[in-house]
Structure 1
Amino acid sequence: MKAADKKRVLREMLFARRFEERCYEAYVERKIGGFLHLYPGEEACAFGVLEAARPGHDYVITSYRDHVHALKCGVPAKEIMAELFARETGVCKGLGGSMHIFGVDHRFMGGYALVGGPFPLAAGIAKGIKMKGGDEISICFLGDAANNQGVFHESLNMAKLWDLPTLYVCENNLYGIGTRIDRSTAVIDQYKRVSGYDIPSAQVDGQDIDKVYEAAQLAVEHVRSGKGPYFLELMTYRYRGHSMSDSNAYRAKEEERMWGKRDPIIILRDRLIEAGEISLDEYSAMDTEILEEIETDVIKFAEESPEPSAELLDKYVLAENDPWVHGGAK
């Protein structure tokens, strides 16, 4: 990435971090209900991969830790927050919530609560791309624990058999809820598990966005050039529990401190400071500006938006009521 792009991405990553932290606060304030899975610590994964792809052109699908992927795909932050607040101005009219963010206009094909749910859907999207002859690719973000689902193996087998334009991105944060990967998975290195399907793969440092971007460029080029699927494993760490209901008592404090020193945002910030592209004062000013934007634009919009109307109760239940069946959304 060029220096200007790195500065832009630094702001995007910092915005995502502050957005997620504000989600945490809103949940504690009981303004957000249900389940809430936050992304701090993993920002270099989504931003590094999607910076190498074409957000809004390529199709992206992920699991329930989905807010940041939607942001990078271009879904407006205030519409995401309104969705979390269960308001009608939310990206899914307030009917989906945190685990079901969906931005079809930006080709963000959703977050899914079912573990392993996106695997076959990503392959299906890629099948559609191939049948239509498009140059898009299907990008599927997944967690390490989901790889023990049978659908993981079924989907990768078919993706390779049909040489589908699918990029599988494993955000390996070492834990499936509260279970460490070495207690649940025989082969810890996830990128090795796809060798049985003759799918090329790589494992890289998921905290360093430069390394993620470099690896993602190779992966995206492989998939987009018609060579079939690719599997990219990013070693990362979530700084909060699995969800808001997770006390996070199962992780060693020493481990948390070690990963805390490898904050992806600070790594990029310090690299830009060392290169003379940004100063600490400029970074602080950027942070202040972001916090103000989230509070006065994003949160204000969500709080002032109306709750879903009663008329929406059955609008998306039956096909005859679905606006997408009748010429697009209304």
Structure 2
Amino acid sequence: MQPQDRLDLYRTMVLIRTYEEAILREYHADKKPVFDIGAGLVPGEMHLSAGQEPVAAGVCAHLTTDDAVTATHRPHHFAVAHGVDLEKMTAEIFGRVTGLGKGRGGHMHLFDPATHFSCSGIIAEGYPPALGQALAFRRRGSDRVAVAVTGEGAANQGAFHESLNLAALWKLPVVFIVEDNDWGISVPRSASTCVTSNAVRAAGYGIPGARVEDNSVEAVHEVAGEAITRARAGEGPSLIEVHTLRLWGHFEGDPQSYRSDLEGVPGKDPLPTFEQELRAAGVLDDPSVSAVAAQARDRVEAAIEFAKRSPEPEPATALDFVFASA
């Protein structure tokens, strides 16, 4: 991989982490002294993706905004990597009228037609819509692809298997991504899944399957590049599972009493690991690390301020946008 490509991956990962840290800060800022999930500038549940940056950065490096991405209830890393407007996304998370969904959807329901990005709080929901997008792309004679993302727990849902079957049968240009962060909420994968790798399930549908270990962004980049190239060439779908890491809780406020691995989790953080690799290769040094961090911080803080300045929806408009105009 060329040094510039490695640097671009690092920039994306830093931007994602900076964004998630800022959302974490704002989410908890006014939920004290006793945590109240309904209080504050950002009410409701919040699922953050710190630790899973390599998956989004490695996959989305091969996509353009003409390609589609359907993400999970933990969507910010893929939204950032796919180029969703940070200001509009942040405004949506804050429930403001300048948001992607005019403040109606919140962080689990981000829809951006400009980048063909969507997500949902329903487990495995993103797989079937990705098939529709892929079918539309093929019928229009384009080489656009759809990427569908889910967690390892959702690989036991019917929608997962039905989608793989139909995509294989129709040879659709879709790449299925499974993020294995070891935990389906509080359930370890060993207690819920009969195979050690969901990638082996691809064989049941006659499509390629691969598993990426070690949460390596460069390994994800390589495997995803092959799958996306294959899809663009009309050769059908692929399944990729990435063994990644959930640094923080399933949701903010999660006490994580079920986790026995918490003590060692910080040492597995993929961001400093990749930074050290790039320093050793001469791609990064102190000034460049500082510059990347400053650029990410400026973008993120500008998005936060935009959201805070934006108005909340008027109660009288609660039923607006529920139905399409005739």
- The normalised TM-score by structure 2 is 0.92
Contact 2:73 2:108 in 1 (8 A): yes
State the match for 1:262 in structure 2. 268
State the match for 1:31 in structure 2. 41
Residues in 1 aligned to 2:312 and 2:145: alpha-carbon distance in whole angstroms: 36
Residues in 2 aligned to 1:43 and 1:62: alpha-carbon distance in whole angstroms: 13
Unaligned runs of 5+ in 1: 322-330
Find 1:63's aligned residue among 72, 75, 86: 72
Q: Deviations over 1:40-87 (max 9, x none)?
A: 000000010111x22302111111111121112211212111111101
1:280 to partner: Cα distance? 3.0
1:205 counterpart letter in structure 2: E
1:137 to partner: Cα distance? 0.6
Change (3 A) 1:218 1:58: same
Residues in 2 aligned to 1:176 and 1:263: alpha-carbon distance in whole angstroms: 19
Say how many residue pairs are matched.
316
State the match for 1:309 in structure 2. 314
Residues in 1 aligned to 2:211 and 2:292: alpha-carbon distance in whole angstroms: 32
What SS does structure 2 have at the residue aligned with 1:161? helix
Find 1:286's aligned residue among 284, 292, 295: 292
State the match for 2:35 in structure 1. none
What SS does structure 2 have at the residue aligned with 1:81? helix
1:94 to partner: Cα distance? 0.7
**Mapped pair 1:272 → 2:278:** yes
2:272 counterpart letter in structure 1: I
Residues in 2 aligned to 1:223 and 1:185: alpha-carbon distance in whole angstroms: 28
**Mapped pair 1:298 → 2:303:** yes
What SS does structure 2 have at the residue aligned with 1:231? strand
Residues in 2 aligned to 1:274 and 1:136: alpha-carbon distance in whole angstroms: 37
Residues in 2 aligned to 1:290 and 1:139: alpha-carbon distance in whole angstroms: 25
1:310 to partner: Cα distance? 4.5
User: Over the residues paired in the alignment, what is the CA RMSD in angstroms?
Assistant: 1.6
State the match for 1:79 in structure 2. 88
Residues in 2 aligned to 1:26 and 1:314: alpha-carbon distance in whole angstroms: 28
2:50 counterpart letter in structure 1: P
What SS does structure 1 have at the residue aligned with 2:312? coil
> % of aligned pairs identical?
34
Contact 1:206 1:212 in 2 (8 A): no
Contact 1:66 1:111 in 2 (8 A): yes
**Mapped pair 1:208 → 2:223:** no
1:185 to partner: Cα distance? 1.0
Answer 1 or 2: which has greater helix percent: 1
Residues in 1 aligned to 2:307 and 2:104: alpha-carbon distance in whole angstroms: 14
- The normalised TM-score by structure 1 is 0.91
1:259 to partner: Cα distance? 4.3
Unaligned runs of 5+ in 2: 30-39
Residues in 1 aligned to 2:70 and 2:251: alpha-carbon distance in whole angstroms: 20
